[in-house]
Amino acid sequence: MTREPHHLHLAPFQAAIFDMDGTILDTESVFKTIVFEVCTELGFEMTDAVHMNMVGASHEHTSQMLMEAYGVAFPYTIFDDRCRVIMRDRMHTEIPVKPGARELITDLRERHIPTAIATSSRRAHAWTHLGNAGLLDLFDTIVTRDDVVNPKPAPEPYLLAAKRLGIEPQHCLALEDSHTGVRAAHAAGMQTVMVPDLVHPSDEIRELGIAIHESLHHVRRAAFPAT
């Protein structure tokens, strides 16, 4: 996969807003396994194509997409509840953190640059996972699905995070791993960086002029070249 040069410096920014799952928490691959398992349990066949459309999406979008893929008889509520229970069981002790996440967040805090989370996950899920990962206290504000009317790909989560931080959107750096999240941050007018996890950048994403970095270590070097 061709990516933007890793040495490409980022423009100055006054705040950093992170997506959560797949961007700072290494949870998407675990969740993918669970999604396939639960679909099989329920008598449906999950595919990579359907799963990719779920990455970064809100519960509402996921529900609609699964109904379109499998028909209105798909038991989304049962599917969602079962996935949550299994995810909670597998993640109740330690949440894996993406490479470079702690270092980047620590650098930002040392430089007094405010940080936020903008996630499509529900509040309870977000706080539990960030707490188990030891990251909960490192963010100035956390925007979840429960805080917005219009989730990603609408810009509302990012706009609300910027508002809470008191920083204009154009002065914010947004970090995302999914197409849905990239669209949301870009629509909010933020300097947007995609750090691919399970989903590779599409032609559409590249046409938005999104910077693409291999890891948060690369983002850190691009943000703070002397680090």
Calculate helix-pair angle for 156-165, 179-187, nearest 10 degrees: 60
* Residue tagged active-site, from 21, 147, 177, 197: 21
Instruction: Using DSSP, state whether 98 is helix, strand or coil.
Output: coil
Question: Can you tell me which residue has the tokens 């040392």?
Answer: 110
Concerning whether 89 is annotated as a catalytic residue, the answer is: no
How many angstroms separate the CA atoms of 220 and 180, rounded?
23
Q: Which residues of 42-64 are buried (b: 16+ CB within 10 A; e: fewer)?
A: eebebeeebbbbbbbbbeebbbe
How many angstroms separate the CA atoms of 100 and 110, rounded?
15
How many angstroms separate the CA atoms of 41 and 33, rounded?
13
How many angstroms separate the CA atoms of 152 and 201, rounded?
17
Question: Can you tell me which residue has the tokens 């947004």?
Answer: 174
Distances (CA, A) of 32 to 47, 133, 162: 10, 19, 30
Concerning whether 203 is annotated as a catalytic residue, the answer is: no
| Catalytic residue positions, numbered | 19, 21
